[in-house]
Amino acid sequence: MSLQQDLEKRSGNQCELCSATNNLSIYEVKPVSTGGFDGSILACETCITQIENPEEVDVNHWRCLNDAMWSEFTPVKVTVWRMLHRLKNEGWPQDLLGMMYLEDDEIRFAKETGDHLSESEKIIHRDANGAILQSGDSVVLIKDLKVKGSSMVAKQGTAVRRISLDHENAKYIEGKVGATQIVIVTDYVKKMAEKE
C-alpha cells in the first residue's frame, strides 16, 4: 500500500485534525526526518494552509482540536500540541493543553520546531554568515573541528544533514558526522542551499 492509502485507512478517509473529507493530502510534520507513516498526517487543504501560514489562522476552525487531541498517533498529537500552543492566547487552547498527554519522545518531537515558544522566547540560531538555521536544515563545516571526548576530527567541508537545534543556546546545534552525533558551534557552519 502507498503512504496515501495507509493514511486514508488510519484516518477513515478524513482530515486527522478537523475530520473534513475534501481536498485531503499528506502533510509531513516538520522537521521532516522520516516522513512516512510515523511522521505524516492526512490533512485537508484548510488545515495545511493555516499550519504553514500562521497569519491566516482562523481560531474557530481549530476548535476541532478538542477531538483530534485524543488521537493515538504521534504525528497527529504533535501537530495538535503545536497548534494549541500557537493559539494559547485565546484561553480555551490552554485548557486543552492541560488535558493532553504526550510521551517524553513525543514532547521532544513537538518542541523541535520551537512553535510552542512566543516570539520573545525564541532563540534564533544563525550560521557563520548570519543565515537563520532551522531544525532539519543541512550545513557544511567551515573549519576542522575536534570532537570533544574522542580522537575524531570533523573535517572542513563535511556536510551535516538534518540538524537539530539546542533550544536553550543559540550557539549550539546537533547533527551526525558519520555515525557520531555531535554538538557543533554555529560559528563554524554554513547553511547549505536546498539544492546542494
pLDDT at 31: 76
pLDDT at 41: 94
pLDDT at 143: 92
pLDDT at 32: 63
pLDDT at 122: 64
pLDDT at 134: 85
Q: Please give the Cα distance from 196 to 188 (Å, whole number).
A: 18
Which residue in the block uniquely carries the three cell numbers 482530515? 15
Locate 84 and state its grid cell.
Answer: 494549541
pLDDT at 196: 43
Q: Where are the domains of the chain?
A: 3-111, 125-191
pLDDT at 44: 96
pLDDT at 56: 86
125-191 homologous superfamily: SH3 Domains (2.30.30.40)
pLDDT at 119: 57
Question: How deeply is 102 buried, as exposed, middle or buried, from its count of CB atoms within 10 A (0-12, 13-18, 19+)?
Answer: middle
Give pLDDT < 50 ranges for the chain.
Answer: 196
The answer for residues whose C-beta is within 8 angstroms of residue 110's C-beta and 6 or more apart is 77, 78, 81, 82, 102, 116
User: Residue 49's closest CA among 75, 71, 18, 78?
Assistant: 18
**Other C-beta atoms lying within 10 Å of the C-beta of residue 15:** 24
In the chain, the DSSP E strands lie at 24-28, 40-44, 125-126, 132-133, 139-141, 145-146, 153-154, 159-160, 164-165, 172-177, 180-185, 189-191
Query: What mean pLDDT value characterizes the chain?
Result: 87
